[in-house]
């Protein structure tokens, strides 16, 4: 009578062992994961890496035992990404995790076989996949709704400036697309704004573009989504403050760092989504068979300290909609 329950118990005990073998946890070295981004460790790369490690832990994968994370950050230099991608490929990783379109393209170009789990504002518009539901190829990831959110931030900026004002959209040529241009133009018309869009690929370009604000007589700046521009956010915050211009940014953390206002995905939640996709690819699922996911949590953060410094009063209607107000 006591022998009969042993079979299900043995089978139950074998299940974690089978899963562990699938992930390389038993009798083999940890799998390597490469992470590539245009930013820097101090500029957010370190946080991205830590959140990925924490996310993988929630899936039962422990750093050092089950995987090793190799990071490469370009420090804002787009031209350095190809060499960094080659370095990661030479380490023979199981997959590459990328942040932004430049890093994603560098990873795809560096190796014709490796799966890529990317974080991108645009996927279809930039040609990385034909559809989100089944991207095919060897890429999956999270698309954080670049075009709709860039347009939404322009709507928010319209609530801070007089109707009929001119505004500047500061963009990155790497994330430029016809779809984005059309969305920005349509939102500007609907919001009663005169819209100027200028692009910057270097820190010097950022300074030149923001210096043109006086000539264009713009009343505010919409910083379009871009890993490069996010990496230069301290410079943009400083220049916008000197010009006493209200500016709206992509990532909520930017408002906490001194930017006036930011609206975008909750980064920690988005990294959990990335970690889930990485775990599934490590478990044997083809990247191209996994739907490209979209964020589910968004935050509006307003910094009243910055508003006071530039002499701006934030409408009460906007403050009531904010998820966080920094006094």
> Domains, the chain, ranges and CATH?
6-144+266-289 (3.40.50.2300), 146-265+298-326 (3.40.50.2300)
pLDDT at 186 over 90: yes
Residue (of 34, 87, 25, 84) closest to 59 by Cα position:
25
Residue (of 241, 248, 246, 190) closest to 219 by Cα position:
246
Distances (CA, A) of 232 to 6, 14, 143, 206: 61, 50, 21, 8
Distances (CA, A) of 251 to 83, 178, 211: 28, 23, 23
pLDDT score at 8: 38
pLDDT score at 9: 37
Give the burial string for 220-238 (b: 16+ CB within 10 Å, else e). bbbbbbbbbbbbbbeebbe
The residue ranking higher by pLDDT, 281 or 23, is 281
Q: Is 118 left (phi over 0), alpha (psi -120 to 50) or beta?
A: beta
pLDDT score at 43: 63
pLDDT score at 38: 85
The answer to whether residues 269 and 297 touch, using CB atoms and an 8 Å cutoff, is yes
Confidence class of residue 103 from pLDDT cuts 50, 70 and 90? very high
pLDDT score at 7: 37
Rounded Cα distance, 299 and 251, in Å: 9
Q: Which residue is associated with the tokens 């940890």?
A: 30
Residue (of 225, 227, 223) closest to 237 by Cα position:
223
Question: What pTM value is reported for the model?
Answer: 0.78
pLDDT cut 70: percent of the chain above it? 91
Confidence class of residue 20 from pLDDT cuts 50, 70 and 90? very low
Q: What is the pLDDT of residues 253-292, one digit of tens each?
A: 999 999 999 999 998 888 899 999 999 999 999 999 999 9
Residues 6+ apart with CB under 8 A from 187: 151, 154, 155
pLDDT score at 144: 84
pLDDT score at 44: 66
Computed over every residue of the chain, the mean pLDDT equals: 88
pLDDT at 249 over 60: yes
Confidence class of residue 53 from pLDDT cuts 50, 70 and 90? very high
Instruction: Give the 3-state secondary structure of residue 52.
Output: helix
Rounded Cα distance, 32 and 66, in Å: 9
34-43, 82-91, 144-153, 158-167: least confident range: 34-43
Q: What is the pLDDT of residues 128-183, one digit of tens each?
A: 888 888 888 899 999 987 889 999 999 999 999 999 999 999 999 988 888 889 99
In this structure, what are the phi and psi dihedrals at residue 13, rounded to the nearest 5 degrees? -70, -25
pLDDT at 3 over 80: no
pLDDT score at 21: 46
33-42, 198-207, 221-230, 232-241: least confident range: 33-42
In this structure, what are the phi and psi dihedrals at residue 289, rounded to the nearest 5 degrees? -90, -10
pLDDT cut 90: percent of the chain above it? 69
How many CB atoms within 10 Å of residue 18?
9
For the record, the structure tokens of 83 come out as 């060499």
pLDDT at 24 over 80: no
Confidence class of residue 127 from pLDDT cuts 50, 70 and 90? confident
Confidence class of residue 11 from pLDDT cuts 50, 70 and 90? very low
In this structure, what are the phi and psi dihedrals at residue 235, rounded to the nearest 5 degrees? -65, -45
pLDDT score at 4: 35
Confidence class of residue 92 from pLDDT cuts 50, 70 and 90? very high
């Amino acid at each position: 009578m006591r022998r009969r329950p042993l079979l299900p118990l043995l089978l139950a005990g074998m299940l974690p062992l089978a899963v562990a073998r699938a992930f390389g946890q038993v009798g083999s070295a940890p799998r390597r994961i490469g992470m590539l981004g245009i930013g820097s460790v101090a500029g957010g790369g370190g946080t991205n890496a830590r959140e990925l490690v924490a996310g993988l832990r929630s899936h039962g994968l422990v750093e050092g035992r089950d995987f090793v994370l190799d990071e490469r950050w370009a420090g804002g230099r787009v031209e350095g990404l190809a060499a960094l991608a080659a370095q990661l490929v030479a380490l023979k990783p199981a997959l590459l995790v990328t942040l932004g379109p430049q890093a994603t393209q560098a990873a795809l170009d560096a190796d014709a076989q490796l799966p890529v789990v990317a974080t991108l504002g645009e996927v279809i518009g930039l040609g990385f996949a034909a559809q989100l539901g089944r991207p095919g190829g060897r890429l999956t990831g999270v698309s954080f709704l670049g075009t709709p959110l860039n347009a939404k931030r322009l709507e928010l900026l319209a609530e801070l400036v007089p109707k009929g004002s001119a505004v500047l959209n500061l963009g990155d040529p790497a994330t430029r697309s016809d779809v984005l241009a059309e969305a920005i133009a349509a939102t500007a018309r609907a919001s009663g704004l005169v819209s100027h869009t200028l692009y910057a690929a270097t820190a010097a370009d950022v300074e030149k573009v923001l210096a043109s604000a006086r000539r264009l007589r713009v009343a505010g700046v919409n910083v379009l989504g871009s890993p490069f521009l996010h990496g230069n956010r301290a410079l943009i915050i400083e220049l916008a403050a000197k010009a006493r211009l209200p500016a709206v940014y992509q990532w909520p953390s930017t408002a906490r760092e001194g930017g006036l206002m930011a609206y975008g995905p909750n980064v920690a939640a988005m990294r959990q989504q990335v970690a889930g996709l990485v775990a599934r690819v490590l478990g044997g699922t083809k990247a191209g068979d996994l739907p490209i996911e979209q964020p589910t949590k968004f935050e509006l953060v307003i910094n009243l300290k910055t508003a006071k410094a530039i002499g701006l009063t934030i409408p009460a209607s906007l403050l009531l909609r904010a998820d966080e107000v920094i006094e």
